[in-house]
Amino acid sequence: MVHGFKLIKKENVKEINSLVYLFKHAKTNAELIKVENEDNNKTFSISFKTLPYSNNGIAHIMEHSVLMGSKKYPVKDPFGILSKGSMTTFLNAFTGSDRTIYPFSSTNDKEFMGLMDVYLDAVFNPLFYSEKNILKQEGWYYSLKDFDSPLTVNGIVYNEMKGALASPYAQLWNHVLKALFPDTVYKYISGGDPREITQLKQDEFIKFHQNYYHPSNSYIFLYGNGDLNKELELINHNYLSKYDKKEFNNSIKLQNNYRNNIDEEYKYSISRNEEKKNKSFISINWVIEKSSDLKLKAAMKIINDVLASSSGAILKKSLQDKEWGEDFVSSFDGSMKQMLLSLVLVNSDKKYKQNFLNLIYEELNKTVKNGIEKDLIKAAISDMEFHLREADYDGYSNGLVYNFKILSNWMFGNNPIESLKYEKILAFLKEKVQTDYFEKIIKKHLIDNDHKAVITLVPEKGLLEEEMLAEKKKLQKIKKEMSDEDVQRIIFETKELKKYQTKENTKKMLDKLPLLSLKDIDRKAKRFPIVEDKIEDININYYFTNTNNIIYFNLYFDTSVIPEEDIPYISLLTDLLEELDTKNYNYDKLSNQIRINTGGIEYETTCWKYKNNPNNLQPLIKIKSKVIPKKLDKLIELVGEIISNTVFTDYERLMKLIKQIRSELDMEHGYSGESLGIIRLQSYFSKCGVYGDLIDGYEYYKFIRKLDEQFDSKKENIAHKLKEISEKIFSINNFEIQTTLEKKDRDLFKREAVKIKKYLTEKKEEKKNYILKRNRKNEGFASSSTGVQNVYLGANYKDYGYNFEGSFMVLNQMISRDYLHKNLRIEGGAYGAWSILNTSGFFCLSSYRDPNLAETLEIFKKVVKYINNVNFSQKEITRLIIGTISTVEDPMSPSSEGQLGFKMKRIGLEKDYLQKIKNEILDTNSKKIKNHRKMIEQLIENSFVLVYGNAKKIKMNKNIFDKIINLN
C-alpha cells in the first residue's frame, strides 16, 4: 500500500520503453495508471465516465464549467489564466460520447505538481454549485438588455456547437449513431444540440456532477519521469482520502437488439441559390462487436485501410469508374463500447443509393471469394507498424496519446495495459496475411452483419434560415408570454452576469494559482545546428539526433522557375503526385510499394520570407519522407519514380482527382472557413500572403472549381502544364537535401542520396520575379450553412517601419489571452478569440464561432485603449512571459527540429537568433509593452477586415465590406 493505493499490476512494456503500474485506491476504488519512463514531458489526466441522457450537452458544458474556478482556487477563470502563463506543453479538456477527460502536460516538475492540484480541485470542488453565472456563461442564457429589446440566447458551448454542427459530416454522424444505438448513450449528441442546450437547468447540472464526478468513477493517468511517490501522496492526501466508496450503476449497455434494414433519409441546409444536384451524402454503417477485442480492432483498422481508405483501396477503386459521387470516405471508430465502420459517398445524388449499396456488397463478396491481394494487406500492416515504432505524434505529447489509447479498454473494464503492447498484435496480423483471416472477418462482420444502417443526407434549400427564423419566433413568443416580473428578472440577470464577467480577480485570489518564477526558466534557447556537406554538387544539410533508427529524407525544390500565372498549378501538382500512375507503376501498386517500404512521402507547396528582405520570397516544393536505413535505396527509387515518371494524361483519373479536391475544398470552405479566413487575410498584406492564397486559399479554390467545370475542353492543356511544370521544378539545378538522422547512418546516406540525381532533369530556367499584387479589400465570405462568424482584422507592421522583437510576443500573449479572451469569449460568448503578431509582420485579431460581427470589430478597435489603461504588476507580466516562452519552446519531433534548423539557415537567421528572441521575451517589462501602443494604434487605423460567417448576418452589415462573396 502506497499512500492509500494498492498495486494491482506492474509490467515492463518494452514497446514504449516504460514501466507501467496499475493501482487501485483502497478507500474509493479509484484506479490509477502510471507509465514511468525517462520522458520529462510529463502528463496527468483524470477522466470520468459521464453518460448523457439527452442532447442538452450537459457533459460538455460541465467540462467547460469545472475549469471556471474551484474552492481552493477561487479565481474566476483559472483555466484561462493558466493558458496565459504556464510552461504546459498541453492544456485542455475533452468530452466524448461516454467520458470526460482532463489532461495536461508539462516539462517542469514544480509546475506539474502544482497544476495537478488545480485540476483535481477543479473536478472535485467546482464553484458552479453556488455561482450560477458559470452555467450561463459556459452553457447558455437568455440575454435581454432592456424591456423593449428582443430576447436572445447566448453562451459559449451554445455557439461552439452551432459552429460544430454546421458541417454535414457532423450531422450525418449524429444520425448514424442515433439509428444504430437507440438504447444506449451513444444516441445522444454529447456536445449538445443548440436547440436542446437551452433546456438545461442549474439543479440537474449539479445533480449530474454529484452523480459522476466522484473518485469511485475516476480513472487517473500519470506519465513520464515524475516522482511517483510524491504524485500518489498528493492525489491521496489532498483529494481521494476525503471520499468513501460509492456504488455506480454506470456500465454502458451493449446494443444487441437492432432493427433490420434501417434506411433513413435526413435533410441538411444549403443556400436558396444553390443547386441541389450532387449534394447528397449516402452512407452505410456497421456495428462490429466489442472494442475490447484488441485483435479484431487491429484487424478492422487494416480492413478499413484495404477496403476504403488507402489510395488503392478495393471499394475506392471500383467506385472510381462510376459517376455516382465526387468523393468516397471511410471511418473506423474503436473508441466506443462497440466498434463502428462507416463508408460515405460524398456529393452524390440519392438516385444512386441502390447502385452504391449493390456495388459495395458485390465487391465485398468478390473480395471474400477471390481473396484480398496480399500486397494490399502487407502495405496496411507495414504502415501501421512504422507509425507505432516511430511514435511521433506531431505536437501531441506521447503521454497524451498513450492515455487515449488505454482509456477505452480501461473504462470498459478490460486490462488497460494490453492496449500499449503492439508487438503481439503486429505479429498476429503478419501471421494472418497468408491465411483467409481478413476475408472471414469481412464475411462475418460486414456481409453477414445485419446490425447496420443506411443513412442518406439530402440538401434542403434555406433550411438554416428557416430554423433561425423559427428560433427567433420562438424567442418572441417566450418573451410575449413572460410576466413583467419575469422580463425584469431576465434584464437583471443579464446585468448580473455582465457584472460577474467583468469583475477582476483580486491579487489574493490570483496568488493562489501556481506560477513559476523567471528563475525556474532555462535562459538558454534551443539550437538546431545544421551540418552542410556537398556531394557531387548536391547540397546536403544534416541534422543529427536520436531518431528511433529512422532517416528523414527531405527534398526542397525552388519553384520560382514557374511563371506567376501558373502558381496554382504547383499546388495542384503536389496534390496529384503519388495519386497518378507512373511509367513503371499503377497508382495503387505505387501506393502499396510506398507503404511496404517507407513511412510515407508527403508533398507540400510553401513559401519562405527572407529575414532581411521579406518581399523577396522563396517559393518551394518540399517532399518529405521517412524510412528505416536499410530501405533508403528503395525510398529514393520511389521518390525518383514519382518526380520523374508521373503520367499526367490519364484524363479519367485526372478528372476524378480534381473533382475530389474540389469536393474536399467545398466542405472545408462551405462549412467551417477556418483556414479560408486566415489565409485570405494575409493576402491583403504581403507577397507571401498572396502566394499562400494562390496555393492554399480561396484563390486556389476558385482555380480548382474552374478546372473542374472546364475539364473537358481543357484537359490536354492541364496535363501538358503539369508535365511542363514538373520538368522545370524537378531539376538538378534547383534543389537541396535536408536530412535528419543518426550519425551512424551518415556514410550510408552519402552513398545513397546522390542516386536521386538520375531522376532529375537538367532544365535550367530563369528565376522569376513575382509581382503578387496584394488584394487589399474588406471582404465578407457568406455561408448559408453556419449560424456563427469568424471575424478578422489585420495589418502589416513592416509597412510602417517596425521591426520584430521578442516583446511583441509578450504583447501578443496579453492581447490574446487577456483582452480578447475576456471580451470575446467570456463576455461575448464566442468559442474562441486570439491574436497574431508574428516575425514576418503580420498582425491579426480574430474571433471564432462568434455570435457577433460589428460588436466584435468594435472590441478589436478598443484594444489600443486597453493597452493604454492596463496596469499589470510585474507578477502578471511574469505570467505572460512564461506563457510566451511555452509557446515558443514546445517540444518538437526530431524531423521538425531538422526542418526548422534548415529553414532558419536559409532565410538568413543568425545562429543565436532564437537566443536573442528568448532574451528579449524574458526581459520584457510593462514599459516595453506600453511602448508598442503607438504601433498598435497605427495598425488598427490602417487595418482591413475579413469575416467568414452567416450569410444573412454579413448582408445585414454590408457597409463594412467592399465585397461580399457567396460561398454556397
Q: Which chain residues interact with Zn ion by CB under 5 A? A: 160
CB of 820 or CB of 880, closer to Zn ion: 820
CB of 787 or CB of 901, closer to Zn ion: 787
CB of 138 or CB of 333, closer to Zn ion: 138
Q: Minimum distance from CB of 204 to Zn ion (Å)?
A: 19
DSSP 48: E
Instruction: Identify the CA nearest to 411 among candidates 205, 248, 232.
Output: 248
In sequence order, the β-bridge partners of residue 348 are 280
Q: Minimum distance from CB of 195 to Zn ion (Å)?
A: 17
Q: Minimum distance from CB of 726 to Zn ion (Å)?
A: 44
Q: Minimum distance from CB of 291 to Zn ion (Å)?
A: 24
Q: Minimum distance from CB of 101 to Zn ion (Å)?
A: 12
Q: Minimum distance from CB of 428 to Zn ion (Å)?
A: 38
- CB count within 10 Å of CB 611 equals 16
CB of 160 or CB of 326, closer to Zn ion: 160
Q: What distance in Å separates the CA atoms of residue 191 and residue 278, rounded to the nearest whole number?
A: 29
**Per-position b or e across 387-415, b if 16+ CB within 10 A of its CB:** eebbebeeeebbbbbbbbbbbbbbbbebe
Using CB positions, name the residue nearest to Zn ion: 160
Q: Minimum distance from CB of 904 to Zn ion (Å)?
A: 36
Place of cell 532574451: 919
C-alpha cell at 727: 520538368
CB of 205 or CB of 944, closer to Zn ion: 205
CB of 160 or CB of 666, closer to Zn ion: 160
CB of 59 or CB of 144, closer to Zn ion: 59
Q: Minimum distance from CB of 412 to Zn ion (Å)?
A: 24
- CB count within 10 Å of CB 709 equals 11
Cα-to-chain-centroid distance, residue 484: 47
Q: Minimum distance from CB of 161 to Zn ion (Å)?
A: 8
What DSSP string describes 781-835? EEESS-SSEEEEEEEEGGGGT----HHHHHHHHHIIIIIIIIIIIIIT--SEEEE
CB of 191 or CB of 614, closer to Zn ion: 191
Q: Minimum distance from CB of 93 to Zn ion (Å)?
A: 8
What is the signed CA dihedral for 15, 16, 17, 18, rounded to 10 degrees? Answer: -120
Which residues, 6+ apart, have CB-to-CB distance to 702 below 8 Å? none
Q: Minimum distance from CB of 671 to Zn ion (Å)?
A: 18
Which residues, 6+ apart, have CB-to-CB distance to 80 below 8 Å? 817, 821, 822, 825, 826
CB of 160 or CB of 850, closer to Zn ion: 160
Torsion sign (Cα): 106, 108, 111, 112 = positive
Say if CB 839 and CB 803 are below 8 A apart: no
Length of the chain measured in residues: 968
CB of 160 or CB of 897, closer to Zn ion: 160
**Per-position b or e across 536-546, b if 16+ CB within 10 A of its CB:** eebebbbbbbe
CB of 33 or CB of 166, closer to Zn ion: 166
Sheet of 789-796, strand order: 832-837, 842-850, 789-796, 944-950, 779-783, 963-966
Cα-to-chain-centroid distance, residue 89: 16
Q: Minimum distance from CB of 157 to Zn ion (Å)?
A: 6
Say if CB 560 and CB 767 are below 8 A apart: yes
CB of 212 or CB of 402, closer to Zn ion: 212
Cα-to-chain-centroid distance, residue 74: 31
Distances (CA, A) of 296 to 251, 660, 844: 22, 31, 48
CB of 111 or CB of 160, closer to Zn ion: 160
C-alpha cell at 56: 442538452
Helix axis angle for 202-212 and 58-66, nearest 10°, is: 80
Say if CB 566 and CB 694 are below 8 A apart: no
What residue type is assigned to position 254 of the chain?
L
Q: What distance in Å separates the CA atoms of residue 681 and residue 946, rounded to the nearest whole number?
A: 7
C-alpha cell at 287: 456495428
Q: Minimum distance from CB of 197 to Zn ion (Å)?
A: 11
CB of 94 or CB of 651, closer to Zn ion: 94
What DSSP string describes 152-212? EEE-HHHHHHHHHTTSHHHHHHHHHHHHH-TTSGGGS-TT--HHHHTT--HHHHHHHHHHH
CB of 67 or CB of 561, closer to Zn ion: 67
3-state secondary structure of 280: strand
Q: Minimum distance from CB of 184 to Zn ion (Å)?
A: 23
Q: Minimum distance from CB of 168 to Zn ion (Å)?
A: 20
The strand pair at 99-106 and 218-224 is best described as: unpaired
CB of 200 or CB of 284, closer to Zn ion: 200
CB of 160 or CB of 390, closer to Zn ion: 160
Instruction: Identify the CA nearest to 211 among candidates 330, 60, 52.
Output: 52
Q: Minimum distance from CB of 221 to Zn ion (Å)?
A: 21
Q: Minimum distance from CB of 741 to Zn ion (Å)?
A: 41
Task: Give phi and psi for 246, each to the nearest 5.
Answer: -130, 140
Q: Minimum distance from CB of 64 to Zn ion (Å)?
A: 6
What residue type is assigned to position 736 of the chain?
E
Q: What distance in Å separates the CA atoms of residue 771 and residue 100, rounded to the nearest whole number?
A: 51
CB of 160 or CB of 699, closer to Zn ion: 160
